[in-house]
Amino acid sequence: MTARAPAQMTCRELVRVVTEYFEGTISLEDRTRLEHHLVFCDWCVDYLQQMRDTLRVTGKLREEDVPPEVEGELLRAFRDWKRGPP
């Protein structure tokens, strides 16, 4: 549908720029386009709220809060992810 109105941001594009939006580094033009999108897209509003909640919760975690077995599991997962699919 947005091919007819190419200046409008899509959900996919919003996901791509959401980090810049939260960090305040997004361009003014893209911020305006993103906010136009949020006015009508309930899904993206929910997505942003989930991101905000995740940032709030994970922002409170300190290194010593992570149990060693969880740390090991996470490091293994990151190494596997970096290596890519077998």
Partner 1 sequence: MIAYKFLARGSVGPFSKRQWKAGEWVEAARPGEGWGIHACRSQDLSWWIDAELWRVELDGAVGERATQIEARRGRLLDRIDQWNDEARAAFGLDCVFQARDLSVSALRTLGHAGIAGRLAEATTLPQLLEIARSLQAPSGFAGEMFGYAHDAAAAYTARSNAAEASFIASVATAAARGDPSGFDEERRRESRWIAEHVGIEPR
31 makes contact with partner 1 (CB under 8 A)? yes
Span interacting with partner 1, options 10-18, 33-41, 55-63, 72-80, rule CB under 8 A: 33-41
CB 56 within 8 A of CB 28: no
Element (DSSP H or E) covering residue 13: helix 11-23
| Per CB under 8 A, 51 contacts partner 1 | no
Segments of the chain assigned E as strands:
none
Neighbours of 54 (CB within 10 A): 10
Near partner 1 by CB under 8 A: residue from 32, 54, 55, 73? 32
Interface residues toward partner 1, by CB under 8 A:
1-2, 4-8, 28, 31-32, 35-36, 38-42
